[in-house]
């Protein structure tokens, strides 16, 4: 069963609706003891990464999350929380994946936020099982995770290549919103629920 | 590559879709949930609901509708109409709306844009602008084009961007309803002058109008209502046509 880290960063109605549509049961994680109740953990997140990190810190869940050995999926800002540092609020993140979250550079002639459907090239990670390469996912973000070949499992291009998805051990992160990415996004959520570590 | 978005717009009143919709297979054309789901199946990239519910007391039905839509829909959607405060917007966000669109409330109280952007992030805030060409100038209008303001469209949009708008939905009232094509000149000028996405609206009648607006202007998305509702332009056919012109679309 999936546990959703409930730390007050953004609305999770769309995520729980997607899980309902997929018949994937879930519950909420409010404190450390709740982490034991679930096999798979989702860290959602919308809004400001620095603020989100502060809120997560206040729940006391950072250290227990870092110690997890079960599959964890960070979505959007939830993914950025897995990184070392974010330029948004110049804030230290959880440092699970040693990469940085940076602001898109508008001097590259791109509009910010990066909003809409963009295609991804993935590296046959189980998270993307059954998802064709160059499938589009729905993105909406102004900060991105720098491309690092060691942790990148899916790449998108916006002004430059960036990581649409990363993995380190049992920790996964996706920059797009699977809950808003049509059938492909639903497939990804289903794949996550089937991951074993 | 980032795809150009195709966005059907639905008018809703008291939680029901209004305006005739002519879909085969549709059991209840007034049911926004079923209609939204159909559009998602057809390949719409996003939906906009314009709430024309007249009274504030009936807003509860809108909230319920937004929740029902969010439960079923696996693509993003925006809701506009009647949002005048951060509290209005928050209720919609918590009901599953991805973005809210504000129009006259932003003109009357520009600080609302920055308040919303601070509270929920710029990606949540769409500023809708109705424009009409009057005596050689593009002027912002309210009340569906009936009420002229003192704001020049270009200036207002720049101001809205600086306050924290995450996207501009620009409707040309001169083109709206004509089915003669989008206002490509103005749309291109606006899309070049700002650094946030622009949704083109007003004037779509034939498929080539979509090709034109994407080839001739820097807009990111095109919105239309009747050509989609009456099945005059099926979305899958439109997207194939756009692809033929090397316009990036989601198929």
Domain extents for chain A? 2-194
Q: How many contacts (CB atoms, under 8 Å) link A and B?
A: 86
Is A140 in Cβ contact with B123 (below 8 Å)? Answer: yes
Q: Give yes or no for A147 touching B (CB within 8 A).
A: no
pLDDT 10s digits, B30-74: 888 988 999 999 999 999 999 887 666 677 788 999 999 999 999
3-class state of residue A196 by DSSP: coil
Q: Which of B77, B121, B190 to mutate to test the interface with A (most CBs of A within 10 A)?
A: B121
Pick from A102, A60, A79, A37: which is nearest to A178 by CA?
Answer: A79
Residue boundaries of the structural domains of chain B: 5-244
Report ipTM for this prediction.
Answer: 0.91
Contact B177, B225 (CB under 8 A): no
Residues B130 and B171: beta-carbon distance below 8 Å: yes
Q: How far apart are CA B65 and CA B69, in angstroms?
A: 6
- The Cα of B173 is separated from the nearest Cα of chain A by a number of Å equal to 26
Q: Which helix (H) or strand (E) holds A26?
A: strand A26-29
The residue that leads in pLDDT, B28 or B100, is: B100
B176 neighbors B201 (Cβ within 8 angstroms): yes
pLDDT at A47 over 90: no
Using DSSP, state whether B79 is helix, strand or coil: strand
Q: What is the mean pLDDT of chain A?
A: 95
A48 to chain B, any CB pair closer than 8 A? The answer is yes
| Helix (H) / strand (E) containing B80 | strand B77-80
Q: What is the mean pLDDT of residues B131-140?
A: 96
Fold for B5-244, please state it: TIM Barrel (3.20.20)
A163: tokens are 């990581």
Cβ–Cβ below 8 Å for B95 and A20: no
Bridge-based pairing of strands A160-168 and A152-158 is: antiparallel
Residue B1 near chain A (CB below 8 Å):
yes
Task: Read off the pLDDT of residues B162-172 as tens digits, 9 standing for 90 and up.
Answer: 999 999 999 99
Q: What is the pLDDT of residues A139-176, one digit of tens each?
A: 999 999 999 999 999 999 999 999 999 999 999 999 99
Contacts of B57 (CB under 8 A, 6+ apart): none
Q: Which of B5, B98, B122 sits opposite A113 (nearest CB)?
A: B122
φ/ψ (deg, to 5) at B218: -95, 25
| Residue positions of A annotated with a catalytic role | 76, 177, 179
Question: Is residue A29 within 8 Å of residue A61, measured between CB atoms?
Answer: yes
CB contact under 8 A, A136 and B250: yes
CA B76 – CA B97 distance, rounded (Å): 8
Residues of B annotated catalytic, as ranges: 11, 130
CATH number corresponding to A2-194: 3.40.50.880
B242 touches chain A (CB under 8 A): no
How far A140 CA sits from the closest chain B CA (Å)? Answer: 7
């Amino acid at each position: 069963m999936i546990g959703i880290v409930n730390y007050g960063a953004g609305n999770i109605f769309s995520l729980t609706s997607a899980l309902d549509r997929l018949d994937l049961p879930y519950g909420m994680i409010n404190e450390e003891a709740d982490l034991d109740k679930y096999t798979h953990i989702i860290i959602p997140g919308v809004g400001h990464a620095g603020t989100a990190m502060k809120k997560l810190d206040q729940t006391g869940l950072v250290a227990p999350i870092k110690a997890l050995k079960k599959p964890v999926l960070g979505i959007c800002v939830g993914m950025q929380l897995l990184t070392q540092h974010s330029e948004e609020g110049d804030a230290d993140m959880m440092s699970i994946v040693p990469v940085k979250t940076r602001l898109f550079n508008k001097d590259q002639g791109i509009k910010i936020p990066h909003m809409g459907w963009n295609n991804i090239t993935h590296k046959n990670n189980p998270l993307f099982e059954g998802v064709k390469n160059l499938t589009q996912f729905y993105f909406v973000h102004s900060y991105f995770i720098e491309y690092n070949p060691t942790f990148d499992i899916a790449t998108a291009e916006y002004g430059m290549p960036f990581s649409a998805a990363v993995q380190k051990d049992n920790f996964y992160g996706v920059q797009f919103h699977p809950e808003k990415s049509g059938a492909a996004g639903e497939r990804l959520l289903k794949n996550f629920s089937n991951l074993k570590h | 590559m980032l795809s150009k978005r195709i966005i059907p717009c639905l008018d809703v009143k008291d939680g029901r879709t209004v305006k005739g919709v002519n879909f085969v297979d549709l059991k209840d054309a007034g049911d926004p949930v079923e209609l939204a789901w159909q559009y998602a199946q057809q390949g719409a990239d996003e939906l906009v609901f314009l709430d024309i519910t007249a009274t504030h007391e009936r807003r509860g039905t809108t909230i319920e509708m937004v929740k029902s839509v969010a439960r079923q829909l696996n693509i993003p959607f925006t809701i506009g109409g009647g949002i005048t405060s951060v509290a209005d917007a928050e209720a919609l966000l918590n009901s599953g709306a991805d973005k809210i669109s504000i129009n006259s409330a932003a003109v009357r109280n520009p600080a609302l844009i920055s308040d919303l952007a601070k509270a929920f992030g710029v990606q949540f805030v769409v500023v809708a602008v109705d424009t009409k060409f009057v005596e050689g100038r593009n002027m912002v209008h309210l009340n569906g084009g009936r009420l002229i303001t003192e704001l020049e469209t270009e200036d207002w949009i720049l101001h809205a961007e600086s306050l924290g708008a995450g996207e501009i939905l620009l409707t040309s009232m001169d083109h709206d309803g004509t089915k003669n094509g989008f206002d490509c000149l103005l749309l291109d000028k606006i899309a070049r002058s700002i650094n946030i996405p622009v949704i083109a609206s007003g004037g779509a009648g034939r498929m080539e109008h979509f090709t034109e607006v994407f080839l001739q202007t820097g807009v990111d998305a095109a919105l239309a209502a009747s050509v989609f509702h009456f099945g005059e332009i099926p979305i899958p056919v439109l997207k194939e046509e756009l692809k033929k012109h090397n316009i990036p679309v989601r198929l």
